[in-house]
Every structure is written in C-alpha cells, then in structure tokens.
Amino acid sequence: MSAESRGMWMWSQACAALEEAERRHRRFFELLGAPARAPVWEPPVDVFLLERELHIVVALPGVRPGSASIELTSSGLWVRAESSLPLQLGRGRILRLEIPYGRIERRIDLPGGRYQLLDHEYADGCLHVRLSGAPL
C-alpha cells in the first residue's frame, strides 16, 4: 500500500469515527430529552380455549372493580389499570411489600384468528375476559 493510499485510508477511518461519535452524542441528548415513563408492572395471565371462546384471567390485586381498561387490537388484548396501597401508612414502616402497586399494563398475545369482546367482569381480585372466536 502506498503512503498516499494509506493516508487516505487513515483519513476515512478518522472521519467514520467522528461520525459515529457525533451520532452517539446526538442519541445521548435525545435520551435526556425523552420524558421519563413511570414504572409499569405486568400482571400474571391465564388464557383458556373453551369451544369457540377464549377465556382470559388477569390477576389485578388492589385494583377497584370497573377501573381497569380493556382494548382489543389486532396485536392482542391490552389491559391497563392502577392500584394503590390499601391503607395510609402515616408514620408506619413497611415490613414486607410483595404485592406490586402503581401502573399496571399488559399486552396479551392472542393466537391467530378473529376475536370479539363478549364480556368482562372483575371477581376475586381478577379480571375475567371472554372473547368470541377461535384460533385458526
């Protein structure tokens, strides 16, 4: 490799490194400017197929009946809710905290097929959802 071609190669490598550094610099400031999203927990879910219906059970401890929102989309079933501590602690101390509280959000993938929301009810700390249709 001649000295001239080696110099051009080094120059192109330096330019590529500068471009990469500039991309990372821009990305860093984009991340700083992005609004912080509150933490979200995903509740456990059971899905059952009974004849031509899907039955979905979503565990939602601490959620008031009727406060969960359900959205059936082409990408699945979305369940969103909010839960809060059941009591005012005041000057008390938490000795154990295993039940998650705060924002709840879960997208449930459904088997391929066409579905329609039939019914939903809240019972025993769980949201029960019925969808018509069956997987393909």
pLDDT of residue 70: 96
Torsion of Cα atoms, 31 then 35 then 40 then 46, to 10°: -80
pLDDT of residue 56: 96
HSE-up of residue 85 (Cα within 13 Å, Cβ side)? 9
Other beta carbons less than 10 A from residue 106's beta carbon: 19
Which pairing describes strands 40-41 and 102-108: parallel, antiparallel, or unpaired? parallel
HSE-up of residue 108 (Cα within 13 Å, Cβ side)? 23
pLDDT of residue 29: 62
DSSP 35: P
pLDDT of residue 6: 78
Which helix or strand (DSSP H or E) is residue 81 part of? strand 76-83
pLDDT of residue 32: 62
> Which region, left, alpha or beta, applies to residue 13 given φ > 0 means left and ψ of -120 to 50 means alpha?
alpha
pLDDT of residue 62: 85
pLDDT of residue 126: 95
Burial zone of 81 (CB within 10 Å; 0-12 exposed, 13-18 middle, 19+ buried): buried
Torsion of Cα atoms, 129 then 69 then 33 then 26, to 10°: 30
pLDDT of residue 136: 66
**Regions in the chain scoring below 70 on pLDDT:** 1, 26-37, 134-136
pLDDT of residue 28: 65
- Per-residue pLDDT tens digits for 77-106: 999 999 887 777 777 788 888 888 889 999
pLDDT of residue 106: 94
